[in-house]
Amino acid sequence: MTHVSEPRSLRFKERMSGHVVFDDLDDLVTLNSDGNGWARFALDMQMHISDVDEFWRGNHMGDAAGTVSCAALGGELAIHEGHFQLMVPAPDGLHPHMNYVIEFEDTKGRHLTLHGYKELAPGDFGPLEETTTSLCRIHHGWITNFDTWRADAAASGVLVIRLRDFIWQEFTFRADPDATIAVRLHTRVTFITKFLASLWRAYRPGHPRRPGPGE
């Protein structure tokens, strides 16, 4: 493939939705109809990678903008600052993971940060489930560190990219519109092949499985 020296940016959209539970009901702007801490939660994000080559060579990090939707926190809220990482090699070299850090503000003016985490490892779930399901926690304050996974979270839960949103996402990938057709094609092919190669390394036959309960 022809070498391309200019930076090659990529944009795509991602939707995740699910539920979180708040440990302290005082953290909620509006209680649900059952009067408990369970709340629907959704992310509608515009993802941006400034240079695909640097993304895969470096820390696998891109930026995320968009909105947080949670009636318990006041409705649709703008993302103040967001970052994500895809297919980050684990320290043991076995199971890559994905991270999300989403800073936002609720209608009470409180700063909040959602940390999301996905781990890819052969086990009871397959690649589709593990690339579309994220454990998450919401912390008070704006915390930009990917490695912050504190026990004193205000809320925790699970967010999922639903099948219809996963299919829709595949049609949202866009390379730099100012680049040539060859550069745009090269950008998209590079991202897809690198992603699939990481997925293969995680789930290839003979790769160590994640231990199940009691193992």
> pLDDT per residue over 155-199, tens digit each?
999 999 999 999 999 999 999 988 888 899 999 999 999 999 888
| pLDDT (0 to 100) of residue 210 | 57
Taking residues 115-139, what's their average pLDDT? Answer: 84
Residue 206: both structure tokens together = 């003979």
Instruction: Give residue for tokens 């790769």.
Output: 207
The predicted pLDDT at position 121 comes to 75
Q: How far is CA 17 from CA 152, 167, 183, 203, in A?
A: 23, 15, 33, 26
User: Which two tokens mark 178?
Assistant: 């100012």
Backbone angles phi, psi at 91, to 5 degrees: -55, -35
pLDDT > 90: percent of the chain? 54
Checking if the pLDDT of 146 tops 90, the result is no
φ/ψ of residue 140, rounded to 5: -75, 140
Query: What pLDDT, on the 0 to 100 scale, is given for residue 213?
Result: 44
pLDDT of residue 76: 96
- pLDDT tens digits, residue range 67-126? 999 998 999 999 999 999 999 887 766 678 899 999 999 999 999 999 999 988 766 667
**Any idea what DSSP says for residue 14?**
E
pLDDT at 175: 93
Mean pLDDT to the nearest integer, 26-55? 86
What pTM does this model have?
Answer: 0.86
Specify the pLDDT at position 1.
44
Q: Which residues of 89-116 are buried (b: 16+ CB within 10 A; e: fewer)?
A: eeeeebbbbbbbbbbbbbeeeeebbbbb
